[in-house]
Structure 1
Amino acid sequence: MFRFFKSKKKVSFSEQLCELQKIGIELNSNLNEELILAEYSEEEFENEPYLLLLIALGSELELNENYNNCSNEIWYLDTECIEDTGDYVRIAERIKDLSKNYLDLKNIKDYVDIENQEASISFTLDEEDYCWKLEVNDDWIDEKIIVKFNDLLEIKNSNNRVYILDLRG
């Protein structure tokens, strides 16, 4: 898949979307291409082929006053997103969705106190309780949480994994 990023020729938005669909990254059925093109121009997609489309598909769009994930196969997460209790719950719920419920997390709760350098998340998976202490680094996510969720996916013999592409932004 990473050969997409090395492409120097102009690749149309439609071609990029088609190629990503071939590897299973699709636009959710409740959204359409026009909504994506309302956020970015076709020229922008051609200037940043695949990378910008992956970002767009991993984002949320507002539709009828609700925020909708553009795709259920990819997530564009700003890792500078931890401000208060509830932020890690949101992350765990999105990872649950991305895992296609292999990680059928229940009773998800978190605690975040940046000032006192304390954070944790707890949940139940397959009737087993988990509680992870998380590192606090200002408002940045503790990326070890991704490793821990991948460990759980491996234990469950899922082929799904969470991968991180650092955009150096």
Structure 2
Amino acid sequence: MFCRFTMKLETQIEKLAQVGIHLNEGISVEDFLTSFDRNDYEESPFGLILFVYGIEVEEAPWGRFFCDRAWNFDTECIASNGDYVSIVQNFHRITGRAKNLSDVSDQIDIEGGKACLQYKVDGEQKFYDIKVDDDWADPETVSSIMEDLKVEGFEFYPKDNGQASIWFYLTPNEAKQLNAIAGNVFNLESKPWWKIW
């Protein structure tokens, strides 16, 4: 008989905090239960909760993220002016705003096949002509944004989520610890997931 491994929601939150991934101030367990049932979190430890850490709370007051070290980035997100600005701002947010970011603007013309993005980071002007591929974010531009915003000793680590990814901004040690407790979520281990627990 197969024994399913479960873990209390609160325990998962505690373990993530031990790794250094904390909930934002004012976020409660009740906020998690607005989006999904408790069983959904507890029957698949660290699967669902890591996704939720990357999204906004789905009730008023709006605009509150669960965690400022994670972001669920759906790459099919480009439709109009401001969409690349949002990408830059969210990656900047999960870095803890480690660098000074200012003057962020974009121009997007999907039908005309043209887009561009500019901003200043630590006073240095950045400008990108962006390859337009319908409503998909340009991978090359997104990679450049991450390179511009990260600081030494930290990296962006993605957890696959279908056409989206949940991005975490971590030190290599934090990434290793999260990878270990969450079943090789970043594919840093060659061991089968059931041997990592």
What TM-score do the two structures reach when normalised by structure 1? Answer: 0.85
Alignment of 1:1-169 (within 5 A): 9-153=5-149, 157-169=151-163
Structure 2: runs of 5 or more not aligned: 164-197
2:104 aligns to what SS in structure 1? strand
| Shift in CA distance, 145/166, structure 1 to aligned 2, threshold 3 Å | farther
1:153–1:160 contact (8 Å) kept in structure 2: no
Distance 2:91 2:14 in 1: 25
1:55 aligns to what SS in structure 2? helix
Distance 1:42 1:62 in 2: 15
After superposition, give the CA deviation of every residue in 1:97-118 in whole Å (9 maximum; x if it has no partner).
1112223211000111111111
CA displacement at 1:153 relative to structure 2: 4.3
Q: CA RMSD for the aligned pairs?
A: 1.8
Match of 1:4 in 2: none
Distance 1:64 1:16 in 2: 24
Distance 2:155 2:149 in 1: 7
Paired letter, 1:100: G
Q: Give the structure, 1 or 2, with the largest relative contact order (CA under 8 Å, sep 6 or more).
A: 2
What TM-score do the two structures reach when normalised by structure 2? Answer: 0.74
Residues matched between the structures, number: 160
